[in-house]
Amino acid sequence: MKRVLISVYDKRYVESFASELAGLGYEIVSTGGTLKKLRDAGVDATAAEDLTGFAEMLDGRVKTLHPALHGGILADRGKDVHLRQLADNDIKPVDMVVVNLYPFKQTLDQPSATEETIIENIDIGGPAMLRAAAKNMNDVTAVVDPDDYEDVLDAIRNNALDRSKRKALAAKVFRHTAQYDALIAGYMTEEAFPENYTVTYEKVQSLRYGENPHQQAAFYKKPQQTAMSLTSASQLHGKQLSYNNIQDANAALAMIAEYDYPTVVAVKHMNPSGIGEAADLNDAFAKAYDSDPVSIFGGIVACNRTVDKDVAKKMGEIFLEIVMAPQFTEDAIAILTEKKNIRLLKVDMQQTETGSHELTAVHGGVLIQSGDDGSISDKQLDYPTEKQPTEAQMTDLAFAWKAVKHVKSNAIVLAKEKQTLGVGAGQMNRVGAAEIAVTQAGDKAKGSVLASDAFFPMPDTVEAAAKAGVTAIIQPGGSKRDQDSIDMCNQYGIAMVFTSMRHFKH
């Protein structure tokens, strides 16, 4: 008779699984709570402690850690000496281990959980049994996921519980215990960048392809995610998000998080094509649209207020890939869902993520940095020019500064009255980015302000801006040749503000 050891925290379906196994000729061995559940359901099972000769001790910290069980799991059936040692010690082989673990992650997620409770929810005996069974996958089946019970039963019934099936189940065990340990390590680790950087993600969905159709891709989430994110957004309408959609939508969320007043951000290829802030969302959308009526076509739009009928009507006039908002009114949904190809995402924007790490794959490794959470305070600002910015200019400079932070470097943004007018993104020289922004703004550049993500190595950007009619500039400062730019500002009567903070985004 085969033997299965069942010890589960998540007791979903365990009675029916055990009962089916018993019917298929398995002798069941089980622990405390699991055993009770099985016996209450009328499933015959042997207590693990009857085999070990030890009652559970230390509040359950030790219940299955015993050679009578681990010997049965780990013995290599191909080795006579192992089988002899089992026989000498009156130990019966265990053929299947069904274990799932104390809920460490769920405990961490509880805001009220004490350190003591969290530590008690680190399972020791469970991973030991699972890892033992998975290591011995030549002969032993390891089942960690209740969703696999049916599949395992089918395999037994069809004589298909073979090595490849056991190997797949074993790999699942090691992925599971690795994630379990990664979460524990994350909880205990104080350093930002320890000697081993252990990350773990859970699959949200497979994607049809990556950035290009010949690339494979999938979307994963952090096991613990409470802040604003696409992984917790609800899709109200439209096709599955693509890889590029997710990248762009993620960039749009980062941008919209900068703004407190009603704002609309339109994104193309992870850069803002237009950002508008106004007293209501309707006007904010009009501004974002007018910023660049060409590029918004097929773009991704994020709003930080409820999308109502009026805004939806305007949005419905053009083709948008995605609209994101904290809420949509019923009539807005009715209008927008008339469009088959639009995707509507409801995103909780209450809490934004801080203190996160950004990971960028490089050949043979990964670069890790803290996210660009930096924002400027009035105290760190410096006003080096003869002309000082007016209050209205300061408002627009602050608006443009938030925008330029999210533009690919070298980045220049022109703005006026809380509307971007020109965005120069991803240029290999700064004056080139400025020329693009100025050209895009056209006549509207007159009286606008300019934001630059990094300092001016030369005064040429100031000169280009001045000739276009820019009246105020915000930039980090810190170049050896700052004075040249200051002189150029003074020559044209431009007010310049130094932030002492750079926002490179490569």
Ligand X SMILES: NC(=O)c1ncn([C@@H]2O[C@H](COP(=O)(O)O)[C@@H](O)[C@H]2O)c1NC=O
Kindly state the smallest distance separating residue 8's Cβ from ligand X, in Å: 6
Q: Active-site residue among 2, 269, 339, 387?
A: 269
* Distance between CA atoms of residues 404 and 307, nearest Å: 25
Q: Name which of 32 and 478 has its Cβ closer to ligand X.
A: 32
Q: Name which of 65 and 204 has its Cβ closer to ligand X.
A: 65
Cβ neighbours around 379 below 10 Å, total: 5
Q: Which of 83, 124, 204, 236 forms a contact with ligand X (CB under 6 A)?
A: 124
Instruction: Kindly list the distances between the CA atom of residue 357 and the CA atoms of 80, 217, 354, 374, 471, in Å, as whole numbers in the listed order.
Output: 52, 21, 9, 13, 37
Binding marks (x or -) toward ligand X, 476..495, rule CB under 6 A?
--------------------
- Residue matched to tokens 């990350």: 199
Kindly state the smallest distance separating residue 116's Cβ from ligand X, in Å: 15
Query: Is the dihedral angle over the CA atoms 103, 104, 110, 115 positive or is it negative?
Result: positive
Q: Does 62 bind ligand X (CB under 6 A)?
A: yes
Q: Which of 20, 123, 453, 460 forms a contact with ligand X (CB under 6 A)?
A: 123
Q: Does 8 bind ligand X (CB under 6 A)?
A: yes
Read off the tokens for 64. Answer: 């299955």
Q: Does 266 bind ligand X (CB under 6 A)?
A: no
The reply to whether 135 belongs to the active site is: yes
Number of residues that bind ligand X (CB under 6 A): 21
Read off the tokens for 212. Answer: 């290009």
Q: Does 71 bind ligand X (CB under 6 A)?
A: no
Q: Which of 126, 238, 299, 477 forms a contact with ligand X (CB under 6 A)?
A: 126
Q: Tell me the window of 75-83, 119-127, 355-363, 370-378 that interacts with ligand X (CB under 6 A).
A: 119-127
Q: Which of 33, 194, 371, 442 forms a contact with ligand X (CB under 6 A)?
A: 33
Q: Name which of 19 and 490 has its Cβ closer to ligand X.
A: 19
Residue 74 in contact with residue 85, Cβ under 8 Å? Answer: no
Q: What are phi and psi of 301, to 5 degrees?
A: -120, 130
Q: Does 64 bind ligand X (CB under 6 A)?
A: yes
Instruction: Kindly list the distances between the CA atom of residue 351 and the CA atoms of 306, 315, 442, in Å, as whole numbers in the listed order.
Output: 16, 26, 38
Kindly state the smallest distance separating residue 136's Cβ from ligand X, in Å: 17
Q: Does 153 bind ligand X (CB under 6 A)?
A: no
Residue 344 in contact with residue 311, Cβ under 8 Å? Answer: no
Query: Is the dihedral angle over the CA atoms 56, 34, 76, 21 positive or is it negative?
Result: positive
Helical pair 430-441 and 460-468, crossing angle rounded to 10 deg: 10
Q: Which of 94, 101, 454, 462 forms a contact with ligand X (CB under 6 A)?
A: 101
Q: Does 4 bind ligand X (CB under 6 A)?
A: no
Q: Name which of 83 and 124 has its Cβ closer to ligand X.
A: 124
Residue 397's beta-bridge partner residues? none
Q: Name which of 98 and 284 has its Cβ closer to ligand X.
A: 98
- Residue matched to tokens 């681990």: 70
Q: Which of 17, 34, 285, 315 forms a contact with ligand X (CB under 6 A)?
A: 34
Kindly state the smallest distance separating residue 144's Cβ from ligand X, in Å: 10
| N residues, the chain | 506
Q: Does 61 bind ligand X (CB under 6 A)?
A: yes
Q: Active-site residue among 2, 11, 135, 237?
A: 135
Q: Which of 13, 16, 19, 32 forms a contact with ligand X (CB under 6 A)?
A: 32
Residue 5 in contact with residue 30, Cβ under 8 Å? Answer: yes
Q: Tell me the window of 62-70, 180-188, 244-252, 380-388 that interacts with ligand X (CB under 6 A).
A: 62-70
Q: Does 146 bind ligand X (CB under 6 A)?
A: no
Q: Tell me the window of 93-101, 145-153, 161-169, 309-317 that interacts with ligand X (CB under 6 A).
A: 93-101
Q: Does 12 bind ligand X (CB under 6 A)?
A: no
The reply to whether 406 belongs to the active site is: no
Kindly state the smallest distance separating residue 205's Cβ from ligand X, in Å: 29
- Rg (C-alpha) for the chain, rounded Å, is 31
* Distance between CA atoms of residues 316 and 465, nearest Å: 35
Q: Does 73 bind ligand X (CB under 6 A)?
A: no
435 CB contacts (<8 Å, ≥6 apart)? 424, 464
Residue 229 in contact with residue 220, Cβ under 8 Å? Answer: no
| End-to-end CA, the chain | 63
Q: Does 104 bind ligand X (CB under 6 A)?
A: no
Kindly state the smallest distance separating residue 65's Cβ from ligand X, in Å: 4
Q: Does 31 bind ligand X (CB under 6 A)?
A: yes
Q: Tell me the window of 94-102, 194-202, 295-303, 476-484 that interacts with ligand X (CB under 6 A).
A: 94-102
* Distance between CA atoms of residues 143 and 171, nearest Å: 11
* DSSP helix/strand/coil, 419: strand
* Distance between CA atoms of residues 409 and 426, nearest Å: 5
Q: Name which of 27 and 120 has its Cβ closer to ligand X.
A: 120
* Distance between CA atoms of residues 366 and 356, nearest Å: 15
* Distance between CA atoms of residues 19 and 42, nearest Å: 8
* Distance between CA atoms of residues 257 and 163, nearest Å: 51
* Distance between CA atoms of residues 198 and 23, nearest Å: 42
Q: Tell me the window of 57-65, 175-183, 316-324, 333-341 that interacts with ligand X (CB under 6 A).
A: 57-65
Instruction: State the catalytic residues.
Output: 135, 269
Binding stretches for ligand X (CB under 6 A): 7-9, 31-34, 60-65, 99-102, 123-126
